[in-house]
Amino acid sequence: MSVVKAHRMSGRLERGVLALLLSTAFAAHAAVPGISGPSFTLQAAAGYTAQPDGTSIYTWGYGCDGAPGGGFLPAGVPNAQCGAMQLPGPTLIVNQGDVVSVTLTNNMPAAAGSTSMLFPGFTVSAAAAAVQPAGCTGTATSTGVLTTEANHGCAVTYTFEAGTPGTHAYYSGTQGDLQVEMGLYGAVIVLPNLSGVPAGYANYKAALPANLPDTCRALNTARPGGGSDQRLAAAAYDHPSACYDREYLFQLSEMDLEIHREAEKQKDLPCGEVTGCMEVTTEPYHPSYFLVNGRSFPDVAEPNYAVNYRTQPYNGNPHAHPGELVLVRVIGTGRWQHPLHEHGNHLRILAVDGNLITSASGKLAGPLVFTTTSTPGMTMDGIYQWTAKGLNWDVYAHADGITSDACVPDANGYYTTGSGAPLNAPNYYEWCDDHEKALETRPFGQVGSGGPMTLPDPTIVAMGAYYGGSPYFGSDATARAVGSTPVPPSGTVGNTTGSYAFMWHSHNEREITTNNAFPGGLMMMLLVDPWDTTINEAN
């Protein structure tokens, strides 16, 4: 699905959505926000979430029971909060080797019955919490099919050792067809122990392949393009090829509105049964919302902890500079498989379910994938990198003499610190083979003049001013719109960053709708920003 195709859709809804995208997608950023362990005090509770069609949806979610003792990560994200319930639940961030304890209080309506948490991939022990809430009467816990459950008003404590790093899921192990659908799911991020390389990160970095471009660096050291470091760790796994520059977490799920409405009708039923008193049919299954981190497009682009999504605090708004290594953490939640297609390049899979995939000789051996096919319950960690390599034209228009920069290839052919590039070079990580290679044999804007691509006549492009098809990149891209029929370069209308936008979306394209209206649903925009644009993820 292309943005241009979306632009051809006529009507006020699409125009409004696209205008909203252009006005919001460029300002709001994200890393992997969550709360720090190793001890967590959570609750399961009922509340409401919102979708961009205006629907308010009765939802169950995990939330914090009081202020999180370990605080929020990354440090300094404004407005960080963790309420009584949220969708998805709080992202639990711990260190490899931590003994993690999660105390869960069941504050859901009595009619919902008991509830629980599963931590697949870990060996968990569970017991009634040492201190029970005042509202807990009778037996605190019951033995469920999959794990120990907290009865209504009572608390259970789960304990496990975070033995394997990476991205992990947690979700309800009680009446999963109903409780996971209602929203009881979340993520555990385990930061790797890098001590496998002696003396910490300095030696770890020294162990990197000698010809690797300088995108791997210790936490909080200077980076090209500026901006504060929002990474949770210097590497995703204890492996010399698992370093990264930015990271994002996407929890993919879907929602059947009828199930939520039925549960809402029965939420106040008087109930003394441990297993609850609701009778909600969960088949046949007809989901109408398809979610990234509990939000639909375009709400995904709003900031983390945005005040208008108090119960949906996490966004989906990836940004990258050319060449940066982006760690993409994907969790399949719910019932359906959601094949997330990352446009712009394939994704190199590092690990599945927190298991790093290596060859017998210890090299990374994960596949290069077109879509991350997140089967429910499965997690994937992958590295995404966008460069202009292979486009066959100079995206900075150096050939036109409008901009002049050096391009000295490093061992991999890019202009980086490895070949003497300064950290503030506007064309950092340029693919030097295409340096000064003209897009067309005649200037930009003259259609069909013989270059590697043919530009459209802007007079036939619907949504003219919003057309995002410029081949040029960079904050001075406006200056390159010359000729008799100039096409406004990408990003000069809605923003001033001259970025490239790539759709990251469900490749089951039925899912890029919100209650059957396109565009919406399981869709985001990756913004590749030029290096002279600082990506501020701390908001």
Tokens of 340: 């997330």
Q: Assess contact for 183 and 294: CB atoms under 8 A.
A: yes
User: Rounded to the nearest whole angstrom, what is the least distance from the CB of residue 223 to Cu ion in the complex?
Assistant: 29
Structure tokens at 160: 């496990």
Within residues 477-496, the interface with Cu ion by CB under 5 A covers none
Q: CB of residue 506 vs Cu ion: minimum separation in angstroms?
A: 9
Residue 269 and residue 277 in contact, taking contact as beta carbons nearer than 8 Å: yes
Beta carbon of residue 493, minimum distance to Cu ion (angstroms, whole number): 24
Residue number with CB closer to Cu ion (346 or 442): 346
Distance CA 224, CA 239 (A): 23
| Smallest gap from residue 519 Cβ to Cu ion (A) | 13
Question: Smaller CB distance to Cu ion: residue 124 or 528?
Answer: 528
In angstroms, give the least distance from the CB of 457 to Cu ion.
26
Per CB under 5 A, the segment of 29-37, 107-115, 334-342, 447-455 that binds Cu ion is: 334-342
C-alpha span between 169 and 190 (Å, rounded): 11
Binding segment (CB under 5 A) for Cu ion, from list 134-142, 337-345, 392-400, 419-427? 337-345
| CB-based contact 179:116 (threshold 8 Å) | no
Stretch that binds Cu ion, among 130-138, 173-181, 341-349, 447-455 (CB under 5 A): 341-349
Q: Which stretch binds Cu ion (CB under 5 A): 167-175, 246-254, 255-263, 336-344?
A: 336-344
Tokens 């003396």 belong to residue: 199
Cβ nearer to Cu ion, comparing 319 with 341: 341
The candidate with the shortest Cα–Cα distance to 143, out of 160, 134, 133, 156, is 156
Residue 262 C-alpha from the chain's centroid? 31
- Could you tell me if 31 and 75 are in contact, meaning their C-beta atoms sit under 8 angstroms apart? no
Q: Which residue is nearest to Cu ion (CB)?
A: 341
Binding-residue total with Cu ion (CB under 5 A): 1
* Cβ burial 277-297 (10 Å sphere, 16+ → b, else e): ebebebeeeebbbbbbbbbbb
Looking at beta carbons only, is 223 or 341 nearer to Cu ion?
341
Binding region for Cu ion (CB under 5 A) out of 76-84, 100-108, 333-341, 425-433 = 333-341
Quick check: 338 binds Cu ion (CB under 5 A)? no
Options 329, 341, 389, 480; binder of Cu ion; rule CB under 5 A: 341
Region of 233-241, 314-322, 340-348, 523-531 interacting with Cu ion (CB under 5 A): 340-348
Specify the residue, 260 or 341, whose C-beta has the smaller distance to Cu ion: 341
Evaluate whether 186 touches 90 at the Cβ level (below 8 Å). yes
Query: CA 414, CA 360: separation in Å to the nearest integer?
Result: 30
Residue at token pair 């959505």:
17
CB of 131 to Cu ion, least distance (A): 50
Contact 82, 63 (CB under 8 A): yes
Q: Residue numbers of the site for Cu ion (CB under 5 A)?
A: 341
